[in-house]
Structure 1
Amino acid sequence: MTDSHSHFMIHKPHGYLSQFIYEKKRHKKLLGELYAFPEGTMAIGRLDEDSEGLLLLTTDGMMSEMVRSQTVEKEYYAQVDGIITQEAVEQVKQGVEIGFKGIRYTTKPCEAHIITELPECIGEGRRIRDERHGPTSWISITLTEGKFRQVRKMTAAVGFPTLRLIRIRVGTLSLQLKAGEVAEVESFFNK
């Protein structure tokens, strides 16, 4: 049986919204400016305008539900303000309290570790700041949940605010495209 749906992987660049329509007055960069996606294409999950990295898109609502489920891991690399400590990483791993929809929420335990070498696909990215403003470091955080701006809130909760955020993996799919590149794929996972 052939899948009649279309599936895409994209390296969403900084400054783009994870959507195709924006009805407010101010102009925003949208995904449709990067590629001629077929009608009915939807982003699976979102990356906010300031975030970058692997974004999956599909015309299949069932596939979207499957990928957004709490059984599929999403891995993020966060460049944080300061040199993150192992103690802060352990706090992130155990779960930290963040605000979500006006209530306090404790994140589920997750995987996290300090990153010393970045993959080539991340590239230079946008310039965050120069060394005069202090050092930065990188942490990998792998989640199975996805609250609004969760990774940013988690790093801030342990004293290391996120300066740059890149999703590098969804399930078994890893970011291998350069910023702005789109690849059509047969399927994300075997259904």
Structure 2
Amino acid sequence: MQVEGIPEEEPLEQLRRGVELKDGPTLPAEARRIDPPPLWDRDPPVRYRAAIPTCWLEIRIREGRNRQVRRMTAAVGHPTLRLVRTEVGPWRLGNLQPGQWRKLGQPQRKPNLTSR
């Protein structure tokens, strides 16, 4: 995701510890800065302001509240400008481009060790 500003280590640590939102605290997330990914142009383009730099982050969450990632980055002072989901649960986007698709089977489930 592309965020406004360049987060130092403290905002990233806040994301890693969990962020307090209006609907309660989030679970800890994995968060790190990454190089800009090779993505297609966005239409309409992300707003551009010469005085405010941007940065790309990779964030992995373990829950899925409404607009959660956007609310989390805003809470730590770096609003999301562009959000690209690359995986959901066991499924990964890989090298699929916009408009492409592939048929997926059911994900492999881990055995439930508590049932007999």
Quickly name the TM-score band, shorter chain normalised.
0.7 to 0.9
Structure-1 residue corresponding to 2:35: 116
Structure-2 residue corresponding to 1:145: 63
3-state SS of 1:141 partner = strand
1:181 aligns with 2:100: yes
User: TM-score normalized by structure 1?
Assistant: 0.51
Q: Distance in 1 between matches of 2:106 and 2:34?
A: 26
Contact 1:173 1:188 in 2 (8 A): no
Q: Distance in 2 between matches of 1:166 and 1:188?
A: 23
Segments of 5+ residues of structure 2 without an aligned counterpart are 110-116
Deviations 1:5-28 (A, max 9, x none): xxxxxxxxxxxxxxxxxxxxxxxx
Q: Distance in 2 between matches of 1:160 and 1:129?
A: 14
Q: Distance in 2 between matches of 1:148 and 1:129?
A: 23
Identity across matched positions, percent:
40
Q: Distance in 2 between matches of 1:153 and 1:188?
A: 31
Shift of 1:177: 1.3
3-state SS of 1:163 partner = strand
Shift of 1:131: 4.6
Structure-2 residue corresponding to 1:129: 47
Structure-1 residue corresponding to 2:114: none
1:99 aligns with 2:17: no
3-state SS of 1:159 partner = coil
Deviations 1:139-184 (A, max 9, x none): 1110110011000000000000011111111234321211222222
Structure-2 residue corresponding to 1:59: none
| Higher strand residue share | 1
3-state SS of 1:91 partner = helix
Shift of 1:188: 4.1
Change in CA separation of 1:188 and 1:170 when aligned onto 2, cut-off 3 Å: farther
3-state SS of 2:64 partner = coil
- The count of aligned residue pairs is 107
Shift of 1:134: 1.8
